[in-house]
Structure 1
Amino acid sequence: MDSAGDALFRPVRTGNAFEETVERLLQAIKLGVVPPGERLPAERDLATRLNVSRVTLREALHALQESGFVESRRGRYGGTFVCTASPRAVPTTPSRVDDIEDVLILRSALEIGAAECAAMRPLSDEDRAQLRARLSECDTSGLDEYRRKDSRLHLAVAELTGSPSLTAAVADVRMRLNELLDGIPLLPKNIEHSNRQHAALVEAILAGDAVTARRAMTEHLEGSASLLRGFLV
């Protein structure tokens, strides 16, 4: 593996191990570090390089196999190989990259601040019930409705700030974000992880812990950003 491979297969550093592993593997495929038809490094070696468990690595590889980027081959010369015709959702252009980064930066600024503000405000029983209801909707949602229920939860957090202007801004950026999310597959492992992050976020807001709420939202948004950059950039 050349120096580019060493750079891409560096240890994962965030709390979103699955999402960042998917991003790293997609970068290696799209940049040609592992060319079409070639085999990825062995699972043990790759897991060590990325500093993730083999379970996490296998889940990431399964997601890419389901998305058509890699294929698994058995036998003496088996392993995980890059598909010769990997899917391309949309052409990657400088303007599209700029648009993705613009949305992600704006979303981060708005929603991390919203989570912090929501945790700092006194909440009524109705506020608390509404937030728990939105969380429950996400937990029980099927794949076909998940993004809509996810949007409702994030908007509910914004509404708890008591700022109509902030809520409107979060709604606007969420519309742009959902257009991007529609271009990538829904990954069950990511949804499972996302729901755990939602629960931690809601718990922090209900407890009035602004520092933890800010941290929970930051980590949650970083996971989505990793997948968007991996699939679309």
Structure 2
Amino acid sequence: MKEIVPSFLGFAPIAPQRAFEDIASQVRELVARGKLKPGDRLPAERELAAKLNVSRNTLREALRALELSGMIELRKGATGGAFVVPGNSDVVVNGLRDLYHLGAITPKDLTEARIWLEGMVVRIACERLHADELDALDANVHAAAAAYKAGDFAESARLHQRFHTLLGDATRNPVVAILMEGVMEVMGGFVESIGVADNTFTVPSRRRLLKLLRERNADAAAAEMVRFLERLHAVYMERWNNRRPANDSQGV
């Protein structure tokens, strides 16, 4: 990994009253312009603070904020420093989770958006997924059913959640996949908070869906998913409104 020389990047001195925002803005701008790329190390702390005309404490606060935003990674040790990282979904997922916990996203918003999103996801996945991805979905359904039969409800719920993110990945669109991951992460927390009522319709629906996916019947596959989610979320919203936690985990 190469360290970037400050003069090559065009860092400019910072106005003290806007130091925190300006440091982050300059780093983001340099990434956007391609002057900083994933794997690049920012200049050493002392040199960068001097170039920006800020204290090292101010610089550290800005770098920690950039790390939280998923732009850089701070590493310790002789070979450490601030490194630009490849993009990942953590920031979006954490942002959606925070919005849910803050009340900006309600359970009704979440369930409604999920139904719309997954109807689209199934249509795209039906066109794009490969045979090995169909096999992975099939294996997931079998594993979830086995876990539930064995009484491992937490594992069953995890596998059910994974089924949906596998579908998101099969769209081969990172925006859609990240949104699917984020929605399912928040949904998992919502389900955990209310408990999931035992049901007998999840696995049969999964098997019907897989058959339709193998037939590349996008309309019928999307309809199957929407019917399943509408039925499942009717149960969820009833439990949410009544606030009665359950002991079993099935669905998601």
Residue 139 of structure 1, CA deviation = 1.8
1:140 to 142, 146, 155: 146
Pairwise CA distance, 1:100: 0.7
CA distance in 1, matches of 2:195, 2:176: 29
Task: Name 2:210's counterpart in structure 1.
Answer: 202
Task: Check conservation: 2:196, 2:236, Cα contact below 8 A.
Answer: no
- Give the corresponding residue for 2:175: 165
Could you list the structure 1 runs, at least 4 aligned residues long, displaced by more than 6 angstroms after superposition.
Answer: none
Identity of aligned residues (%): 18
Q: Answer whether contact 2:127 2:216 (CA < 8 A) is retained.
A: yes
Alpha-carbon offset, residue 97 of structure 1: 10
Amino acid at match of 2:147: S
SS of 1:223's equivalent in the other structure is helix
SS in 1 for 2:219: helix
- For the pair 1:232 / 2:240, whether they are aligned, the reply is yes
Structure 2: unaligned runs, 5 residues or longer: 1-101, 242-252
**Aligned with residue 109 of structure 2, among 83, 97, 102:** 102
Report the Cα distance in structure 1 between the residues aligned to 2:103 and 2:141, rounded to whole angstroms.
32
Of residues 173, 177, 190, the one that matches 2:187 is 177
- State the alpha-carbon separation in 2 of the partners of residues 210 and 125 from structure 1: 16
Cα displacement (A) at 1:98:
6.1
Task: Give the letter aligned to residue 208 of structure 1.
Answer: R
Q: Does residue 1:116 correspond to 2:123, yes or no?
A: yes
Instruction: State the AA in 1 paired with 2:141.
Output: L
In structure 2, what is the Cα distance between the partners aligned to 1:185 and 1:202? 27
Q: Which amino acid aligns with 1:108?
A: I
What are the residue-to-residue correspondences of 1:12-161 with 2, within 5 Å? 99-121=106-128, 123-142=129-148, 143-161=153-171
In the superposition, the TM-score normalised over structure 1's length comes to 0.54
Q: Does the 8 Å CA contact 1:120/1:208 hold for their aligned counterparts?
A: yes
Q: Is the 8 A contact 1:134 1:156 kept in 2?
A: no
> In the alignment, residue 137 of structure 1 is paired with which amino acid?
A
Query: What is the total number of aligned residue pairs between the two structures?
Result: 136
2: CA distance, partners of 1:167 / 1:134:
18
Shift of 1:119: 1.2
* C-alpha separation in 2, matches of 1:187 and 1:229: 11
Deviations 1:129-180 (A, max 9, x none): 2121112122212323121000111111111111121111001011111111
Distance 2:226 2:201 in 1: 14
* Contact 1:180-1:228 within 8 A present in 2 as well: no
Q: Distance in 2 between matches of 1:99 and 1:216?
A: 25
Residues 98 and 131 from structure 1, CA distance in 2 versus in 1: closer, same or farther, beyond 3 angstroms?
A: closer
**Cα RMSD (Å):** 1.9
CA distance in 1, matches of 2:142, 2:106: 32
Between the aligned partners of 1:178 and 1:106, the Cα distance in structure 2 is: 14
TM-score, normalised to structure 2's length?
Answer: 0.50
**Which structure has the larger Rg over C-alpha atoms?**
2
**Equivalent-residue separation in structure 1 for 2:136 and 2:167 (angstroms):** 10
CA contact (8 A) 1:118 1:158 kept: yes
What amino acid does structure 2 have at the position aligned with 1:104?
T
CA distance, structure 1, for counterparts of residue 126 and residue 223 of structure 2: 12
